């Protein structure tokens, strides 16, 4: 029997769905497992399938004007990727890459749309998810214009902890590897400036970094640095 706990509890757009909808959802499409570094969808291609993330996380990147790669977002269990092409049939706007081992359901466009028609609560969840992504992008643009680099860095780290943090004995560990160039791309800053800001946060014991990990040691202090006092 397919049960609700096949999806990450309390996370993602499906956390509030009825158990019957979740049970139906995890049977739609076909299960596929990706290895670290595998490309799930590629920018510019004409595929229209939708991918439901069950376990693991992905990085969403796009090509910049100078031919480089910019990190746009990170997505984790319980979230959809590729939903825009699944709705409008247009070419992919970004590349999605597995960070670690990734378990998914790959759902064809027609099957995805039939599922939404049969399950209005899932259709509403997709609408809320698209709206949340738009709000997130809007907030990033506001941050770019209204805050300096240390504050922008702190704000994006608070956002990542809120979405993907796991509480450990030392603090909040961000559950996927993220590099300094990727952080710089997320906040629209130069990498040396991000490096300087991270060093300062380490010296103040706000966070600790190591190989492929980052732990927030003092979340209230990080929120204060981000200008988030409530």
Tens of pLDDT, residue by residue over 120-160, are 999 998 888 888 888 877 877 777 777 899 999 999 899 88
Last residue of a domain, one of 144, 162, 180: 144
Last residue of a domain, one of 124, 144, 164: 144
* Residue 2 scores a pLDDT above 50: no
Looking at the fold, whether 73 and 140 belong to one and the same domain comes out as yes
Q: Kindly give the residue spans of alpha helices, DSSP state H, lying in 147-229.
A: 149-164, 180-187, 191-203, 219-225
Looking at the fold, whether 171 and 122 belong to one and the same domain comes out as no
CA distance 176 to 53: 14
Q: For the sheet with 207-210, list strands across it.
A: 165-167, 172-174, 213-216, 207-210
Looking at the fold, whether 208 and 170 belong to one and the same domain comes out as yes
Within-domain flag for 200: yes
Looking at the fold, whether 137 and 157 belong to one and the same domain comes out as no
Contacts of 172 (CB under 8 A, 6+ apart): 161, 165, 166, 215, 216, 219
pLDDT per residue over 180-227, tens digit each? 888 888 888 889 999 999 999 999 999 998 877 899 999 999 999 998
Last residue of a domain, one of 105, 120, 144: 144
Looking at the fold, whether 196 and 130 belong to one and the same domain comes out as no
Burial class (CB in 10 A: 0-12, 13-18, 19+), 55: middle
pLDDT per residue over 70-114, tens digit each? 788 888 888 899 998 888 889 999 999 998 889 999 999 999 999
Looking at the fold, whether 105 and 185 belong to one and the same domain comes out as no
Looking at the fold, whether 81 and 140 belong to one and the same domain comes out as yes
């Amino acid at each position: 029997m397919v049960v609700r706990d096949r999806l990450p509890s309390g996370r993602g757009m499906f956390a509030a769905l009825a158990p019957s909808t979740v049970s139906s959802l995890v049977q739609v499409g076909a299960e596929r497992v990706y290895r670290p570094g595998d490309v799930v969808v590629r920018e510019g291609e004409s595929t229209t399938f939708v991918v439901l993330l069950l376990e693991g996380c992905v990085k969403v990147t796009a090509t910049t004007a100078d031919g480089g790669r910019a990190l746009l977002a990170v997505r984790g269990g319980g979230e959809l990727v590729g939903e825009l092409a699944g709705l409008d049939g247009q070419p992919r706007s970004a590349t999605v890459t597995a960070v670690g081992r990734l378990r998914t359901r790959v759902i064809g466009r027609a099957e995805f749309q039939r599922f939404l028609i049969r399950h209005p609560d899932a259709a509403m969840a997709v609408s809320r998810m698209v709206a949340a992504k738009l709000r997130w992008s809007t907030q990033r643009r506001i941050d770019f214009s209204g805050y300096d680099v240390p504050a922008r860095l702190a704000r994006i780290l608070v956002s990542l902890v809120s979405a993907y943090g796991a509480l450990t004995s030392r603090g909040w560990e961000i559950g996927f590897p993220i590099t300094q160039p990727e952080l710089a791309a997320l906040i629209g800053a130069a990498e040396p400036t991000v490096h300087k800001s991270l060093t300062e946060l380490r010296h103040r014991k706000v966070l600790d970094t190591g190989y492929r990990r980052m732990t927030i040691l003092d979340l209230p202090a990080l929120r204060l640095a981000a200008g988030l006092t409530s």
